[in-house]
Amino acid sequence: MVKGNWQLNGETIKFDTWGRLVDGQHRLMAIIEASQPITTHVCTGLAADSDIFATIDVGLNRSAGSVLAMNGIKYPNQIAAAIAFMKQTFGDSASTPKVTNADTLQTYAENPDKWQKIAAIAGNNEIFKIVRRPPFSVWLWDALDVSEPQALHFVEMFRTGANLKINHPVLTLRRALTAKSDNVSNAKFRHDQYYRFCIAWNAWRDGRTLQRIPTKNLPLNTRIKLH
């Protein structure tokens, strides 16, 4: 732009019906920094819904988190990662399903209040020190459906680890998650954490003690039923 070499190539600056800029931010910032006007096409009146931004520049590295953030959603990266992990648990043992930005937006839009509640809980630093947010969030999603009061109580016990007797499922869970793990893939590590949460929850709901969490070589995409 500074050298006057910018060429008109058909790309547009895009605005929706609310006047929001949905594509072209970097080009406009470059114009400001270069202090050099350019000629470009401008497209206005795009439908002001959450799916438009998700379909723009899909060949570039625009993350699902950035799409959520563009729509003013709190905890965008955290929620996007949780939704991706959730979608993976509905896959099969042979492959990991690809989650598009539009899929992420649609999934969030189906229950935004619940995603916000989960993200706020998962963002607690004491919890994050022990477990990764995506597996914790997917476990919590299902646990809230089983019993929200008990799920929140379980979370509080897990957060503090206070006043738990030996072989209490939550204490065993904390110990299992903080133990040094083998060098495994990131995907397997996340699913192992998810599996351990589910096993500890089911044991606690059943009123059972839990000396250890048994190891099972489940397919990475296995969704575990809570009761």
Per mean pLDDT, which of 27-31, 33-37, 138-142 is the most reliable? 138-142
Which residue would you say has higher pLDDT here, 57 or 11? 11
Please give the angle made by the CA atoms of 213, 219 and 220, to the nearest 5 degrees. 85
pLDDT, mean over the chain: 87
pLDDT reading at 57 higher than 60: no
Is position 101 within any domain? yes
Reported as a single tens digit per residue, the pLDDT across 91-108 is 655 566 678 888 899 999
Find where tokens 């839990």 sit.
210
pLDDT reading at 49 higher than 70: no
- Quote the CA–CA distance of 225 and 121 in Å, as a whole number: 21
Query: How many H helices and E strands in the chain?
Result: 10, 3
Structure tokens, 217: 């070589």
Q: Name the pairing type of β-strands 21-23 and 41-46.
A: unpaired
CA distance readout (Å), 92 to 7, 95, 185, 218: 47, 6, 18, 11
Structure tokens, 46: 């795009």
% of the chain surpassing 90 pLDDT: 51
Is position 56 within any domain? no
Domain ranges, residue 171: 75-206
pLDDT reading at 11 higher than 90: no
pLDDT at site 52: 61
DSSP class per residue in 2-70: TTS-----S-EEEEETT--EEE-HHHHHHHHHHT-----EEEEEE--STTTGGGTTTTS---HHHHHHH
pLDDT reading at 111 higher than 80: yes
Total domains present in the chain: 1
pLDDT at site 69: 87
The band of 8, judged by pLDDT with boundaries at 50, 70 and 90, is: confident
pLDDT reading at 68 higher than 70: yes
Q: Which of 41-55, 133-147, 201-215 has the lowest mean pLDDT?
A: 41-55
Is position 102 within any domain? yes
Is position 135 within any domain? yes
Is position 61 within any domain? no
% of the chain surpassing 70 pLDDT: 88
Residue range 200-213: average pLDDT?
A: 96
Is position 220 within any domain? no
Is position 85 within any domain? yes
Rg, C-alpha atoms of the chain: 22
Amino acid at 183: N
Is position 16 within any domain? no
